[in-house]
Structure 1
């Protein structure tokens, strides 16, 4: 619930949808800036009202000002890279100044661990590595030249506060990064599913297309018969009444085919005015009844022109390992139906076809 509210708040503030490609990166920088501002604000309060340390308070106030600049570049300029560089620069600079200024009092050296995690998450491994190496070089130099002057570090209340802040800062950044990555992967999966659906669906009729049907016929033993169906004299419909009317006729026929076949098979648009039906039925009488029912219902359809629309069919038994032969035989049966006066069906039952029915 909190995560959803946070995402909605960020979407509103950025005026950007969570499905946008840049949303994950922008929201990650936004969260990093916000966490950083909260931590700096706490230390400003601490160094002003509890343990008076004006120099540190001034440095931290400068950090807050730079965070506000980061917000500006993120929201108004849509410059995620600039906002990210500002965020990492603030974290690195203030951490180093605090470590050098305190000489590892109050467990200050622990703050050096923030930079490499945040820098690589926000800026990527190339620029992030650059910041990380600079940070390490400064810390290493300070340690090697000043370590002999350090006093033993007591683990007091402020040391525990520093430890807790660093721990939960890294935890928050890692959690948000991983949740954002998972959300991106989920969106990618949904997008791929949509693309797959589009690639296997006929745009006009919303039936499976030829690619989807061929995949079914090649990988399923459930298909016992196939039927090629062609709209009679469809070219004259387009020529006389226009392609919009022709498209309407195809959509009506497609819907009627799908409704009539139901769970007994799959209907696909094969191309143009041709459809292909894959029947799960094996009984020849059931196939003939379905074909007659289809032709009767389509012929009874009323369109916005005088003539009736009819279809011709050619059907044959199907075997998965010989589907090309079945296509050819169904097409030959369809040709015979056309030659017989149209609005009828023909069956092609050969030795191969009879074997498929066994």
Structure 2
């Protein structure tokens, strides 16, 4: 229910930076409003503390004012201060009029808990210190005045109420901590996925492929693919058409290679293929079939789209020289009329 209210009135979900604070504030206001109405009804029925009846009536009004400030006016700080002032003020009045009877002094522990949760560490600590000074004055000024108090039903009710409040806040804190860590893990996973994925084509990017190559221990077939005359495609038909061509080529390459290896965008109009497992004898046939599929595809342009490929064996012990050799094979393919495959086994 709390989540739905926050989304409806404040457009806030679990990923929002203030989600935890707003959830605590709203849940606290709603809970205390119900409790305050209950205490008001009880005191009106008993008629023992007229001043508390007035204070609790004001408290109910402030609870609704806090809700209005939070949900309608969207003034979070005002709602926090108003609610905290109301809760701690009512607790202090109870301690003043009831004294040490019915264990009412235990209400003092509510102030630091709510102040830190609602105002943050710095303002909450300052508020707690001021409240401690006021509470100390109250206790010291009544030393020798307050008499021993018996533990009765009201004492039990107040101690139970305080225990439940502290327990609920502790559970909420733990729930928020777990939820925050889960969101953090999911965010890190998404960031890692974005960091290794090419935004345009959806293929793995150069960073992802180079990480594999740096950690490779076996010789693998590696190929570099370049779209022929791609600059002319951009110049003649526009960059939108060029992007569409790259995305379709990425799709055709992925379908052609399948589970035989990893297809990645190396940069610009260049792609890379890293064949998986041990060396495959038919890797050249797969590359030529891929080239033929791209050449025969209708890109809805007045010209055919083809790719040139330079391939070879990647040796983990000679990382840089292997890539340079394969890059030279690609340059040879481009210089040999394009739409061809050149393989270097050096």
* Bucket of the pairwise TM-score, normalised by the shorter protein: over 0.9
Matched with 1:138 is: 134
In structure 2, do the counterparts of structure 1 residues 287 and 78 end up closer, same or farther at CA, with 3 Å as the change threshold? same
Identify the match of residue 259 of structure 1 among 251, 255, 261: 255
Matched with 2:160 is: 164
1:321 CA drift (Å):
4.2
Which one is further off, 173-182 or 258-267? 173-182
1:193 CA drift (Å):
2.7
What SS does the aligned partner of 2:305 have? coil
In structure 2, do the counterparts of structure 1 residues 340 and 224 end up closer, same or farther at CA, with 3 Å as the change threshold? same
1:162 CA drift (Å):
0.2
Matched with 1:102 is: 98
Confirm whether residue 93 of structure 1 aligns to residue 123 of structure 2. no
Q: Deviations over 1:301-322 (max 9, x none)?
A: 1121232211111112113343
Matched with 1:34 is: 30
What SS does the aligned partner of 1:149 have? coil
What SS does the aligned partner of 1:205 have? coil
Distance in structure 2 (CA, Å) of the matches to 1:154 and 1:98: 17
Matched ranges for 1:200-215 at <5 A: 200-215=196-211
> Which residues of structure 1 form unaligned runs of 5+?
351-358
Matched with 1:74 is: 70
In structure 2, do the counterparts of structure 1 residues 187 and 207 end up closer, same or farther at CA, with 3 Å as the change threshold? same
Confirm whether residue 302 of structure 1 aligns to residue 327 of structure 2. no
1:207 CA drift (Å):
0.8
What SS does the aligned partner of 1:148 have? coil
8 A Cα contact 2:2 2:27, kept in partner: no
Distance in structure 2 (CA, Å) of the matches to 1:108 and 1:203: 62
What SS does the aligned partner of 2:266 have? strand
8 A Cα contact 2:95 2:107, kept in partner: yes
Matched with 1:21 is: 17
TM-score (norm 2): 0.94
**CA RMSD in angstroms, aligned pairs only:** 1.9
TM-score (norm 1): 0.91
What SS does the aligned partner of 1:166 have? helix
Aligned residues: 346
8 A Cα contact 2:313 2:322, kept in partner: yes
